[in-house]
Amino acid sequence: MTTDPEGEPKARFLERFLKENPEMSSRLVAAVLRFPRGPFFPDVPVEKLFGDDRPSGWGGRISPTLRESLLILNAARIRVGERVTVWRLTDPYFLLLLLELTHRVAIVEEDDNLRDILHRSVDDLGYAYIPVFSSLEEADVQTPPPDRFLRVFAPPGPGENLPPGLSLRSRVQGWVLDHFLTGGPIELS
C-alpha cells in the first residue's frame, strides 16, 4: 500500500491554518486536499512545501507559500463564473487553486518562452481551453472582457520602484494582490 508523502505535513498545515483562518473558503480547502503540491515543485522537500519557504515557480519567479496563496485567493472573493485574467502567473499550483473558484480564467504572459511553457503546462493539466495572451491589451479586448485582472507579486525591495502603471493595493505577508476593474482595493483582515 502506498502512502501519500504529503499526507501528514498537509494535515498539520491545514489544522494550524484553519485554526488561524476559520473563514477560509471550503472550495480552497478541498483543492488543497485534492491536489498534491509536490509535482509542481519537484526540487522542494515535502516538509518545506507546507512551510514558510517560497518555492521557485515558472521562469524562476518566486511563488507564494501555500498559506499566502490561500489568503490571497480567499481575500479576492472571486465568484463562480467570474472572468479573471491573471497577469504573470507564478506557478501551476496557484492556477489550480484559482480554478476552484472560477473556471473562466485567462493568463497574460509577455515573455515568449514562458508563454510557450504556460501553453504546454495548461494543456498538460487538462485545461487547454484557458487562453494565454501576450499582452494586457490583448486580454482587455477579449469578448467578453475580463471582470478583473489579478497580479500577485512580491513588493519591491528597499530602493526599488514598482514598474510604471502598477499600484500596491493589498498586502498579504509581503505579497501584493493587485486588483483592477473591481472598484478598488480588497480589504484584507
Distance CA 110, CA 87 (A): 9
For residue 111, give every residue at least 6 positions away whose Cβ sits within 8 Å of its Cβ, in sequence order, or none.
Answer: 59
- Provide the pLDDT confidence category of residue 59 given band limits of 50, 70 and 90: confident
pTM over 0.85? The answer is no
Residue 2, pLDDT score: 56
Residue 171, pLDDT score: 39
SS3 132: strand
Distance CA 68, CA 9 (A): 17
**Domain locations along the chain:** 7-180
Listed residue (69, 78, 71) closest to 148, CA to CA: 78
Listed residue (31, 18, 10, 14) closest to 100, CA to CA: 31
β-pairing verdict for 148-153 and 132-133: unpaired
Alpha-carbon distance values, 106 to 44, 122, 166 (Å)? 27, 11, 20
Q: Please indicate whether residue 179 or residue 146 has the higher confidence score (pLDDT).
A: 146
State the cell numbers at 124.
Answer: 498538460
Judge if the upstream peptide bond of residue 158 is cis by omega within 30 degrees of 0.
no
Share of the chain above pLDDT 70, in %: 79
> To which H or E segment does residue 48 belong?
helix 46-49
Taking only the tens place, the pLDDT of each residue in 68-110 is 889 888 888 888 888 888 888 888 899 999 999 988 999 988 8
Share of the chain above pLDDT 90, in %: 22
Residue 154, pLDDT score: 58
Residue 155, pLDDT score: 52
Residue 23, pLDDT score: 92
Q: Is the pLDDT of residue 161 over 60?
A: no
Listed residue (131, 146, 130) closest to 83, CA to CA: 146
Q: Is the pLDDT of residue 158 over 60?
A: no
CATH class as words, domain 7-180: alpha beta
